[in-house]
Chain A
């Protein structure tokens, strides 16, 4: 595994190495550009660390294999390397089109934790954080990488000591004790709505409410603990709200214009309301993204709730990465 020091590696390779450092010992995947290098690197490395690698016949069996292994006490982290869509889309071109899908893609009431790095160093740090959050909350965590970050090669500093969370290190309300499969606990696991014993009970209103509100609240109520944001110059009149590859355009703008600030969520979902509410009041909010309808919807909703003055949206699709000039045009 990577020892501490400075490395010069691409995003996909760093994500794989960070996962191994975080304790990942099971990888299930299906090749798709732009994430294939991550899988190829994992297939070479994970077995040296005593782990298991499987390339499955399709994406559905890949996530099913990962969840099956998770039931034997392994956290699950999904790495989503975004590319142009919809449908088969633009294979080798970047976008930020999966932002809403990472949170609202499935049916019913549930919560996800979604992390968005904006540099290769952050890919490293947030991969480790993803595994830790997944263990703490027993929830899938999605790491939203993208085609640019995955192939970018930058310097990465690997620290001496890496904090890895154990299953019983935290006592969080709504998160019960973890019981894995295969220790003789006779667990009844089912996708149907079930009571505390695990027996399917689908026609009782209260049973459903107990189950679903618990799994939703354990994330929503702990949002201040989960949220991680970068805030520069919060007192400025104008605040740029951006994340991932789009946020890199903001830094040169901030250097030149002293009356502009940046709110960059590293955790996209749950929306970092606890950190946003103090900043939003009376501000002019500029949202920069690489999609037509994405995070901006939530930014506008929460911004209005806390009294933001106005909203402007820079939405670039088709693979054009936001540049500082795009933002300066608006200013």
Chain B
């Protein structure tokens, strides 16, 4: 699973770039339909927190929780 930014809602605040503990996002130059510069999901393979006890691959979801526009969704590879 990896995060995807919904460009209809993103307002280009770059908080996801700041809070991600794995540096998955970088600031971007793409313009959204509403005129904002949205970040890019540059390193989606880094998006993972392996829970060693249970051996499962879970996500921290801090980007989803922080994004003020609720513009981040998760998609399965």
Whether A and B touch directly in their complex, counting CB atoms under 8 A apart, is answered as no
Q: A residues touching B (Cβ–Cβ < 8 Å)? A: none
Binding site for A on B (CB under 8 A): none
